[in-house]
Amino acid sequence: MIPDAQLFRDIFNASPVGIAVENLEGQPLFVNPAFCSMLGFSEAELRSKHCVQFSPPEDAEKDWDLFQQLRAGSINHYQLDKRYFRRDGSLVWGRLNISLLKSRPSPLVIAIVDEITNKKTAEEVLLETNRALEAQVALRQSREELLKTFVKYVPAEVAMLDRDMRYLQVSDRWCADFSFDSSQILGRSHYEIFPDIPERWKQIHRRALAGETLRAEEDRWDRKGRTTWLRWEIRPWQNLEGGPGGILIFSEDITRRKQMEEALSRMSRNLIESQEQERTRIGRELHDDINQRLAMLAIELGQLQENPSEIRSRVEELRKQTIEISDDVQALSHELDSSKLERLGAIEGMRSWCREFGERQGIQVEFKSPEAKISLPREIGLCLFRILQEALHNAAKYSGVRRIEVQLREDAGEIHLLVSDLGRGFDLETAKEGRGLGLTSMQERIRLINGIIEIRSKPMGGTTIHVHVSLTSGHSQHAAG
């Protein structure tokens, strides 16, 4: 089996899409070969520059403003089309996706850049073509023939179809990507060439023929035993008389990028699962090894009470301390090991842990759940259990109250977990900026099972953490750890 770190490096280096990992100051830490190739710089040269140095001055100000919002924590992600300087001074277009990685001790920024120069060139050519057509300057060609010329030579996936969805012209790139020769498809129906086109796309074609321009940043096409991901745009074109002549389809295959994203997602899940396995191992070692030895030591120290009276008080004191250590170690094993959830079920496991936690902390933890049993998938139950642990630890440490209420319920196909107290509360925005109170950990866990977490708090106004997860949608990811 390939180690996770090596797998990540292989995916990172083999990706056809440019990837850069930066710190919060905008300084590149890692760049992959695709990013170097796109800009014409070596890896060392890119890492010696600041991210705004690759942008024209008129673009850099907007990009830096968004990056500042990312640093401040007011946004976690943004996307924009922007220009980049190459080493030779020329400009290329890229679709930039920026995401903030908060799970590390020092947050990082990942930038994924798709080069879209050809697409932008195609749009500019199309814009100029339409302008020429609108002006109807002394051109002897009709709109349709001029548009066919554009479609034929544009460096992108483009098809021109009439109102009956028959091919009038296709670009060379379209033929190459779909493995056709233009002579095989011109004059034939689009639906004959691609009989497995989804019905929803046919509806989109009808809307475009009625005059709408439609686009999708990402769309999935399950065809012939494989899945293809596309980014597309469909717009109507007019004939010489100004009436609807048909549609233009612009398409871009983004399957490789989606596969890379899925590989990165699988790696994240594997890393989190590894963390859970390691915690389970540590918990069992603490319980089965250290706790057993400390228990035996307590027995041996108890036997020393039969010795002369001058050491009796000391022995008794040591015995009490040893028992306390044993209790603490056992409690720690319960914190780390999630096996109680598997033995008792998620709800009873959480109820039992709340009771033990309250006894250890000397506070009242009131756990409320319906009489009817709720069946939770393992990944959902484990995620809720970890969030409950984090929330109760925070409440016990910061709220200043001696009573905390935990509620678990099912409503309209969703499971709801609420942890609330009437204590000191806190300023939510300040906590997010400082990434304290384990907010980042809880948000990341719930994201992995497609759930939602809402945190309501204000100074001296108490705190409520509300998590809700759908029980009907798929949960392919694991929120262990």
Arithmetic mean of pLDDT over the chain: 78
Separation of alpha carbons 438 and 122, rounded Å: 47
Separation of alpha carbons 82 and 91, rounded Å: 10
The whole-number pLDDT of residue 14 equals 81
- pLDDT grade for 405, boundaries at 50, 70 and 90: very high
The whole-number pLDDT of residue 8 equals 72
457 against 103, higher pLDDT: 457
CB 445 within 8 A of CB 417: no
The whole-number pLDDT of residue 316 equals 66
Copy the structure tokens of residue 241: 């008389």
17 against 297, higher pLDDT: 17
Place of tokens 């498809």: 185
Q: What is the arithmetic mean of pLDDT over 306-332?
A: 63
Write the pLDDT tens digit of every residue in 195-246: 888 898 999 999 998 888 998 888 888 877 788 888 888 999 887 667 788 9
The whole-number pLDDT of residue 275 equals 67
Residue 72: phi, psi to the nearest 5?
A: -75, -10
- pLDDT grade for 318, boundaries at 50, 70 and 90: low
Q: Counting beta carbons within 10 angstroms of the beta carbon of residue 120, is it exposed (0 to 12), middle (13 to 18) or buried (19 or more)? A: middle
CB 383 within 8 A of CB 343: no
Copy the structure tokens of residue 139: 């051109």
Q: What is the arithmetic mean of pLDDT over 370-396?
A: 82
433 against 140, higher pLDDT: 433
Separation of alpha carbons 315 and 322, rounded Å: 10
> With the CA atoms of 182, 187, 191 and 195 taken in that order, what torsion angle do they form, in degrees rounded to the nearest 10?
-60
Separation of alpha carbons 346 and 353, rounded Å: 10
The whole-number pLDDT of residue 5 equals 66
Q: What is the arithmetic mean of pLDDT over 373-402?
A: 85
Weakest mean pLDDT among 16-20, 315-319, 409-413: 315-319
Q: What is the arithmetic mean of pLDDT over 471-481?
A: 50
Q: Counting beta carbons within 10 angstroms of the beta carbon of residue 462, is it exposed (0 to 12), middle (13 to 18) or buried (19 or more)? A: middle
What pTM does this model have? 0.38
Residues 6 or more apart whose CB falls under 8 angstroms from that of 261 comprise none
Separation of alpha carbons 155 and 144, rounded Å: 19
Give the relative orientation of helices 4-14 and 255-285 as an angle to the nearest 10 degrees.
170
Q: Is the pLDDT of residue 171 over 50?
A: yes
Separation of alpha carbons 124 and 77, rounded Å: 28
CA distances from 428 to 73, 386, 423 (A): 12, 21, 14
The whole-number pLDDT of residue 302 equals 66
Q: What is the arithmetic mean of pLDDT over 426-439?
A: 67
Q: Where are the alpha helices (DSSP H) in 365-414?
A: 378-398
Which candidate, 125, 197, 129, places its Cα nearest to that of 156? 125
Copy the structure tokens of residue 78: 């943004």
CB 462 within 8 A of CB 469: no
Q: Is the pLDDT of residue 478 over 50?
A: no
Write the pLDDT tens digit of every residue in 270-295: 657 656 765 775 666 666 666 766 77
Q: What is the arithmetic mean of pLDDT over 298-312?
A: 61
Separation of alpha carbons 222 and 318, rounded Å: 69
The whole-number pLDDT of residue 419 equals 95
Q: Is the pLDDT of residue 139 over 50?
A: no
Q: Counting beta carbons within 10 angstroms of the beta carbon of residue 207, is it exposed (0 to 12), middle (13 to 18) or buried (19 or more)? A: middle
The whole-number pLDDT of residue 307 equals 59
- pLDDT grade for 480, boundaries at 50, 70 and 90: very low
Q: What is the arithmetic mean of pLDDT over 461-470?
A: 92
CB 117 within 8 A of CB 86: no
Separation of alpha carbons 477 and 382, rounded Å: 12
Separation of alpha carbons 454 and 439, rounded Å: 10
Q: What is the arithmetic mean of pLDDT over 52-75?
A: 80
Separation of alpha carbons 299 and 293, rounded Å: 10
CB 230 within 8 A of CB 253: yes
3-class state of residue 410 by DSSP: strand
456 against 150, higher pLDDT: 456
The whole-number pLDDT of residue 476 equals 41
Q: Which residue pairs, CB below 8 angstroms and at least 24 apart, start in 118-122?
A: 118/155, 118/156, 119/93, 119/156, 119/250, 119/252, 120/81, 120/93, 121/154, 121/155, 121/156, 122/154, 122/155, 122/156, 122/158, 122/250
Q: What percent of the chain has pLDDT over 90?
A: 10
Q: Is the pLDDT of residue 189 over 80?
A: yes
Weakest mean pLDDT among 24-38, 56-70, 137-151, 247-261: 137-151
Q: Is the pLDDT of residue 2 over 80?
A: no
Write the pLDDT tens digit of every residue in 325-376: 666 666 666 555 556 666 667 788 888 888 888 888 889 999 998 766 777 8
Q: Is the pLDDT of residue 407 over 90?
A: yes
